[in-house]
């Protein structure tokens, strides 16, 4: 678990060196090293535990946590980062050794593995916001909360007045919970300032996403994906992440003006592709495909109004909180706007939310004349996938799109 040891014993100077090295390797604009430095510092601070550490999961009201000067350890983002560094398998196998089923969600098994191996940071409290399509994290958090106090936020199904009132009252209770955990009073101005910072970052993200409406896409699919997931999961320093998103957007626009980025097919990706090194992105690149739309950034990247009620509306409007019909409408709308030729759906092992919606989404796309390839995959657990079969199916799909 080299990365965790690194985080435990590192310091800001060391993180700066790593971030610079990584930025050079990836070829991103200069500000990527600042954004990655912010991510490493955020994680390092979780392990140093100088501030109260709140274990949480996407989507969660990090704006409230930040306003208490507490720090959020976002478990699923961390699992994805570990998988990118080939470290998740050890955690997943550890969780299975103590009884987690083979077919259960790997994000949750990674968290159980971190706890089993004593590799979680020292947690002051945990919180989880339910989505209406997944209760796996709730079960894991119940298991973990035997040791630390926990607060469960139960998102209602409807975004009507009653739903928003119910969500607002729970976020107010969550604020009281954090007052107790941190010993600090709630600062409304501080919350609004956190909301402003996150909103500014989200607007920049949408500018980056919109560069892909252009005919020319001068960014390789993996480059775009790495950029999203290296920095977006961590909302600890949105200011620094924003700078990178803006610079990356400008770089892409400049390349487009210079006529770079012709591609044969335009793809949308639904759900999560593998975070570990796999041949998926190689096949897309070899076939000159551009990925022009992904569903995942919509999970918790809605803009928020000020105050607790503003946040309640934001978290209720997450794509995974809505009825499936609404999610399908959003997918169809974007597939049209971004002029998508074909869709790849990564159906995640052990994920009801991912598996149960496949047929309905595929049928809706077929009605619009858009083909969809379903790949059964576990985006964290390399052992679960038959790479050869995935490559063959991807190549046939690419051939069909030409
Ligand atoms: S939505 Fe799926 S992948 Fe995400 S936590 Fe739930 S079961 Fe796991």
Whether the CB of 128 sits within 6 Å of ligand 1: no
Mean pLDDT by 10 residues, the chain (402 residues): 67 76 74 84 86 88 93 86 76 89 86 86 86 74 80 86 95 97 95 92 90 93 77 66 90 95 91 86 91 80 90 86 86 96 92 86 96 91 80 92 83
Whether the CB of 321 sits within 6 Å of ligand 1: no
Whether the CB of 353 sits within 6 Å of ligand 1: yes
Whether the CB of 134 sits within 6 Å of ligand 1: yes
Task: Give the per-residue pLDDT at 233.
Answer: 60
Domains, the chain, ordered by start: 2-186 (3.40.50.11890)
Show the 3-state SS of the chain. Answer: CHHHHHHHHCCHHHHHHHHHHHHHHHCCCCHHHHHHHHHHHHHHHHHHCCCCEEEECCCCCHHHHHHCCCEEEEHHHHHHHHHHCCCHHHHHHHHHHCCCCCCCCHHHHHHHHHHHCCCCCCCCEEEEECECCECHHHHHHHHHCCCCCEEEECCCCCCCHHHHHHHHHHHHHHHHHHHHHHCCCCCHHHHHHHHHHHHHHHHHHHHHHHHHHCCCCCCCHHHHHHHHHHHCCCCCCHHHHHHHHHHHHHHHHHHHHCCCCCCCEEEEEECCCCCCCCCHHHHHHHCCEEEEEECHHHCCCCCCCCHHHHHHHHHHCCCCCCCHHHHHHHHHHHHHHCCCCEEEEEEECCCHHHHHCHHHHHHHHHHCCCCEEEEEECCCCHHHCCHHHHHHHHHHHHHHHC
Task: Give the per-residue pLDDT at 266.
Answer: 95
Task: Give the per-residue pLDDT at 3.
Answer: 66
The Å distance, Cα 59 to ligand 1 centre, comes to: 11
Q: Whose CA is nearest to atom 8 of ligand 1?
A: 105
Task: Give the per-residue pLDDT at 234.
Answer: 60
Task: Give the per-residue pLDDT at 144.
Answer: 78
Task: Give the per-residue pLDDT at 205.
Answer: 87
Whether the CB of 107 sits within 6 Å of ligand 1: yes
Task: Give the per-residue pLDDT at 348.
Answer: 87
């Amino acid at each position: 678990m080299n990365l965790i040891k690194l985080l435990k014993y590192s310091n800001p100077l060391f993180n700066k060196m790593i971030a610079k090295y990584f930025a050079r390797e990836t070829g991103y604009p200069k500000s990527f090293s600042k954004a990655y430095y912010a991510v490493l510092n955020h994680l390092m601070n979780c392990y140093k535990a100088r501030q109260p550490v709140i274990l949480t999961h996407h989507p969660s009201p990090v704006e409230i946590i930040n306003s208490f000067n507490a720090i959020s350890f976002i478990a699923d983002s961390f699992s994805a980062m570990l998988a990118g560094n080939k470290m998740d398998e050890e955690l997943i196998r550890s969780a299975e050794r103590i009884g987690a089923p083979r077919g259960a969600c790997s994000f949750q098994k990674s968290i159980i593995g971190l706890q089993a191996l004593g590799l979680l940071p020292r947690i002051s409290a945990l919180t989880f916001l339910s989505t209406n399509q997944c209760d796996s994290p709730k079960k894991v958090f119940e298991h973990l909360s035997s040791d630390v106090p926990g607060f469960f936020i139960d998102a209602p199904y409807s975004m009507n007045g009653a739903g928003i009132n119910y969500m607002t009252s729970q976020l107010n209770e969550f604020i009281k919970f954090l007052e107790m955990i941190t010993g600090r009073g709630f600062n409304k101005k501080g919350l609004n300032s956190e909301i402003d910072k996150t909103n500014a970052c989200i607007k920049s993200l949408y500018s980056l996403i919109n560069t892909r409406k252009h005919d020319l896409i001068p960014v390789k699919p993996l480059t775009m994906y790495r950029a999203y997931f290296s920095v977006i999961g961590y909302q600890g320093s949105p200011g620094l992440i924003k700078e990178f998103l803006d610079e990356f957007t400008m770089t892409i626009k400049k390349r487009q003006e210079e006529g770079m980025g012709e591609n044969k097919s335009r793809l949308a990706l639904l759900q999560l592709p593998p975070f570990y090194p796999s041949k998926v992105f190689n096949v897309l690149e070899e076939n000159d495909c551009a990925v022009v739309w992904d569903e995942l950034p919509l999970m918790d990247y809605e803009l928020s109004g000020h105050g607790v009620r503003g946040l309640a509306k934001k978290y209720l409007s997450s794509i995974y909180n809505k009825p499936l019909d609404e999610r399908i409408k959003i997918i169809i709308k974007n597939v049209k706007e971004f002029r998508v030729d074909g869709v790849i759906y990564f159906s995640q092992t052990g994920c009801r939310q991912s598996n149960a919606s496949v047929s309905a989404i595929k049928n809706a796309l077929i009605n619009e004349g858009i083909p969809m390839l379903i790949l059964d995959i576990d985006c964290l657990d390399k052992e679960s996938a038959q790479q050869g079969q995935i490559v063959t199916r991807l190549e046939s799909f690419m051939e069909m799109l030409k």
